[in-house]
Homo-oligomer: A and B are copies of this chain.
């Protein structure tokens, strides 16, 4: 047992549910702190590169974060004919911002994450995620999005809710009053998209998001992506819009690892068990 990758036998587990846990072998603890809002942990893992945990839930691993970040960003952005002003709620790690800035149409992307320590950890440990923080088209705010959004009437073409799970600081981001504020913050033709948990592991959360969006927006629609390190792996995104549809409006003009125009189209095709879940 002299392999530095296996000594000591250190593991971090996420309790995906009380009865299911996914564990990574840890090679180094890089940061562990209580921020003003949550418990933050950054580790090096032997399997998945660096990983960020908030309140015990895995937010990302370097190995597979691109599935989630490409799908939360590119489906709504390509569904919009001209997304010039974009807001990210949460997403302090920067992964969603990185994908949004690939769209040349985007003139400004505001990232509003309540917890500055997340952004700082990303700058310190995740250079491939924080790459957009100093982009002149990016604006970083560390405010409560529930408050910020109220002053943004008609300001955005696309809003992406890249929140943590509906426990802790993100609870309000899954409630109807927030969705109403989002709707008021859209320009005509605007689209909002919110991470909506897994239809396999947390079907009740998917249903709650869709109920909230359906009660708020003339058009609410779910689409599916992947998040291999998240509970259930199949991941849902709930969208709301005033008009239009979610089909891709512009060709893919930059490199991706998972997203393609065809995958976009097919992400909108829900399998029977998901249709039943949100019926």
Contact of A226 with B by CB under 8 A: yes
Stretch of A98-106, A168-176, A243-251, A258-266 on the interface side: A258-266
Task: Specify which of B11, B20, B64, B228 is in contact with A48 (CB 8 Å cutoff).
Answer: B20
Most buried by B among A6, A200, A271, A273: A271
Binary interface profile of A, 4-20, with partner B (CB < 8 Å = 1, else 0)? 01100001010001111
The CA of A101 and the CA of B64, in the complex, are separated in Å by: 36
What residues of chain B lie closer than 8 Å to A255, measured between beta carbons? Answer: 272
What residues of chain B lie closer than 8 Å to A19, measured between beta carbons? Answer: 5, 24-25, 45-47
The distance from the CB of A135 to the nearest CB of chain B, in whole angstroms, is 23
Task: Specify which of B6, B63, B228, B265 is in contact with A234 (CB 8 Å cutoff).
Answer: B228
Number of this chain's copies in the complex: 2
The distance from the CB of A73 to the nearest CB of chain B, in whole angstroms, is 15
What residues of chain B lie closer than 8 Å to A18, measured between beta carbons? Answer: 6, 25, 46
What residues of chain B lie closer than 8 Å to A35, measured between beta carbons? Answer: none
Whether A260 and B271, one on each chain, are in contact in the complex, defined by CB atoms closer than 8 angstroms, is yes
Contact of A269 with B by CB under 8 A: yes
The CA of A18 and the CA of B19, in the complex, are separated in Å by: 22
Contact of A22 with B by CB under 8 A: yes
Task: Specify which of B63, B200, B256, B269 is in contact with A263 (CB 8 Å cutoff).
Answer: B269
Q: Which residue of B lies closest to A261 (CB)?
A: B269
Task: Specify which of B232, B257, B269 is in contact with A273 (CB 8 Å cutoff).
Answer: B257
Contact of A21 with B by CB under 8 A: yes
Contact of A233 with B by CB under 8 A: yes
Contact of A188 with B by CB under 8 A: no
The distance from the CB of A192 to the nearest CB of chain B, in whole angstroms, is 24
The CA of A13 and the CA of B19, in the complex, are separated in Å by: 12
What residues of chain B lie closer than 8 Å to A263, measured between beta carbons? Answer: 266, 269, 271
Whether A256 and B228, one on each chain, are in contact in the complex, defined by CB atoms closer than 8 angstroms, is no
The CA of A64 and the CA of B16, in the complex, are separated in Å by: 16
What residues of chain B lie closer than 8 Å to A127, measured between beta carbons? Answer: none
Contact of A177 with B by CB under 8 A: no
Q: Can you report 22 A-B residue pairs in the complex whose CB atoms are below 8 A from each other?
A: A5-B19, A11-B21, A19-B25, A20-B22, A20-B25, A20-B48, A21-B22, A22-B22, A226-B233, A228-B232, A256-B271, A256-B272, A257-B272, A257-B273, A258-B271, A260-B271, A262-B266, A262-B269, A263-B266, A263-B269, A263-B271, A266-B266
List 4 extra interface pairs beyond A19-B47, A20-B24, A263-B266, CB under 8 A.
A21-B23, A228-B232, A260-B271, A262-B269
